[in-house]
Amino acid sequence: MSFLDLLIGKPLATSDESGERVGPAAGIPIFGLDALSSAAYGPEAALTLLIALGALGVAYIVPISTAIIILLTIVYFSYRQTIDAYPGGGGSYTVARENIGEGAGLLAAAALMIDYVLTAAVGISAGVGALVSAVPSLLPHTLALCLGILVLITLVNLRGVRETGGVFMIPTYLFVGTLLITILIGLFRALAAHGHPMPVVAPPAIPAATAMVGAWLVLKAFASGCTALTGVEAVSNGVRAFREPTSENAKKTLTVIIGLLIILLAGIAWLVKAYQIAATDPGAAGYQSVLSMLVAAVAGKGVFYFVTIGSILLVLALSANTAFADLPRLCRIIALDGYLPRSMSNRGRRLVYTEGIYVLAVLTGGLLILFGGVTDRLIPLYAVGAFLAFTLSQLGMVFHWKRVRGPHSGRYMFINGLGAFVTGITVLVVLVAKFLEGAWITVLLIPALLLLMYAVHRHYRYVSERVADSTPLDLRHFRPALVVVPIERWSVIAKKAITFALSISPEVIGLHVNCEWTEQLKKEWQEYVEKPVQEVGLAAPRLVILDSPYRYVSSPIVDYVLGLAKDDPTREIAVLIPELVEKHWYYYFLHNQRAAVMKTLLYVKGNQRIAVVNVPWYIE
């Protein structure tokens, strides 16, 4: 286990759990990474769609960003109320399930699960996008870089939450800090130059317009830009992870995160227009991210540029951490409710829900491979899940206030209702605008996940009904089992197995498939088994010889046992399988695998009354 210890740390006892709670300073990077880093791909996603409009498109980023910021503000006030109402953690699943119903809760859960996988995938791919903008020679290795970062994040998360908080604090503050400085310098230069600053490093020329302005295109750009909102629900999910006073700390954290995000979005939009920066074609040679062009235009390609790009890379890649912290927790809650495999609620050696982390890592890796690690191809799948979860969560809050009547519940209901309404409208906009580009995948996946969760639940209920019992043991028709021992030739292994068989039951049958040792075995059986057993006054075990025209050994034995079980439908049968255990695994290949084959066949073809007994023989 020492390699595992090194890789993911020594096991933690359940009692080590205290002290894993955080205040706002550590809470901002942990719960804000996803939301803040959205600033790095949200505006770019909108601008990519505006490429077709040429110079005019660049100007459209300002009204689109304004709409997104208004949306964000509404969502902020809505989520503040969720934090107050759910100090124990108000994830969309919990809120929708408790207030609207099981179906709504599972729908929110399915939407969130898809959203988390995309958060991880988009975070990583956009981070690598920043890296290849700064070092264009890495462009052909995009996918390999994405997968490498994914492995790294997975390992960090398998080590547990406390350490990840520390790992993520510096890059987050560096990211926010450098971007704020860029925005300030840019703002200053633009104002000094009366709105038309000279870029230090000129961005690529804006290509000529290839399309006319239309509502449809603007709608699509808005839908893409909405990805800037993903991740804002993280704080309300994780309220429990905050120090006392939990709700206050959580709200403070949320306020800072949303405030910073609004400044970043507004600043980027304004500078993009002032410096006339158009997006470049993603996935193609010559691609450069919008933020890379922006920082280069404002501050040149010096040390500051590389520090900024470095922090963008880190923050984007690590924003995937929100997903790695939240998806396993979400899966655990759903698993405890019986809608996902129960093993997802098992904590691993480092107090994290290991299985959820593995599932997320595999799905994220799959998405990255499928879409070649290009952010722009992932964007259309994104946002639907996030906004659907927003809507259901806020709708749940409306029902909550309806139920929990209080002095201000009318106002609260209005705010959450407004949030539900605008995010609901956004879901529709994103769905319609992005349907053909990939939103249809999300539309198919959500009901598929729902069906899966219902099927899991139904099966658990079925099994638990089948095995439930509250009656005592019934020892009236109690008789020892019939023990069957397959035997090839006489050896210490066979001897030990038969001795053990006789200790289990007075009724033992030796089972032998005809081969070159048959005659010898018959004699040995008489002398070595029958005689000593009769001497101690027991009935002598029978030796049954089976023929096998097809040279199989295991199936005649299994068939004979099944026949025995059929002949006496009340008899318990124990098949005793002697097995040689070698010191090293590679010796495995030297012995025929009959024991394993027999066990598998009995497992598949057998029934309740056939038990398999492994009697191991260790060779030192």
Site for its own copies in 479-538 (CB under 8 A): 479-481, 490-496, 498-500, 502-505, 524, 527-529, 531-533, 535-536
- Binding residues among 6-65 for its own copies as defined by CB under 8 A: 11-15
**SS3 sequence of 383-452:** CHHHHHHHHHHHHHHHHHHHHCCCCCHHHHHHHHHHHHHHHHHHHHHHHHHHHHHHHHHHHHHHHHHHHH
| In the complex, least distance from residue 374 CB atom to its own copies, rounded to whole angstroms | 28
- Binding residues among 562-601 for its own copies as defined by CB under 8 A: 572, 574, 580-581, 587, 589-593, 599
Q: Which of 2, 18, 137, 470 binds its own copies (CB under 8 A)?
A: 470
- Binding residues among 286-345 for its own copies as defined by CB under 8 A: 341-343
Residue 294 β-bridge partners:
none
**Cα(415)–Cα(397) distance, rounded to whole angstroms?**
10
Nearer to its own copies (CB atom), residue 201 or residue 580: 580
Nearer to its own copies (CB atom), residue 425 or residue 515: 515
| In the complex, least distance from residue 484 CB atom to its own copies, rounded to whole angstroms | 13
Nearer to its own copies (CB atom), residue 6 or residue 212: 6
Neighbours of 60 (CB within 10 A): 21
Nearer to its own copies (CB atom), residue 137 or residue 608: 608
| In the complex, least distance from residue 103 CB atom to its own copies, rounded to whole angstroms | 21
Nearer to its own copies (CB atom), residue 16 or residue 163: 16
| In the complex, least distance from residue 55 CB atom to its own copies, rounded to whole angstroms | 47
Number of residues that bind its own copies (CB under 8 A): 81
The backbone region for 596, taken as left when phi is positive above 0, alpha when psi lies in -120 to 50, beta otherwise, is: alpha
| In the complex, least distance from residue 191 CB atom to its own copies, rounded to whole angstroms | 60
Question: What string marks each residue from 428 to 467 as x (binds its own copies by CB under 8 A) or -?
Answer: ----------------------------x--xx-xx--xx
Which tokens sit at 207?
Answer: 């290509």
Q: Which of 18, 210, 471, 570 binds its own copies (CB under 8 A)?
A: 471
Nearest CA to 305 among 160, 178, 446, 401?
178
CB under 8 A: which stretch of 302-310, 312-320, 415-423, 611-619 binds its own copies? 611-619
Nearer to its own copies (CB atom), residue 437 or residue 572: 572
Instruction: Please report whether residue 3 would count as binding its own copies according to CB under 8 A.
Output: no
**Cα(35)–Cα(260) distance, rounded to whole angstroms?**
10
- Binding residues among 342-381 for its own copies as defined by CB under 8 A: 342-343, 346-347, 349
DSSP state of 382: T
**Cα(558)–Cα(149) distance, rounded to whole angstroms?**
50
The C-alpha R_g of the chain, in whole angstroms, comes to: 33
Collapsing DSSP to helix, strand or coil, 581 comes out as strand
CB under 8 A: which stretch of 53-61, 255-263, 264-272, 612-620 binds its own copies? 612-620
Nearer to its own copies (CB atom), residue 255 or residue 548: 548
**Cα(149)–Cα(135) distance, rounded to whole angstroms?**
17
CA distance readout (Å), 265 to 9, 43, 188, 341: 39, 7, 17, 40
- Token look-up 């390992």 returns 155
**Cα(88)–Cα(348) distance, rounded to whole angstroms?**
23
Is residue 9 classed exposed, middle or buried when 0-12, 13-18 and 19+ CB atoms within 10 A define those classes?
middle
| In the complex, least distance from residue 50 CB atom to its own copies, rounded to whole angstroms | 43
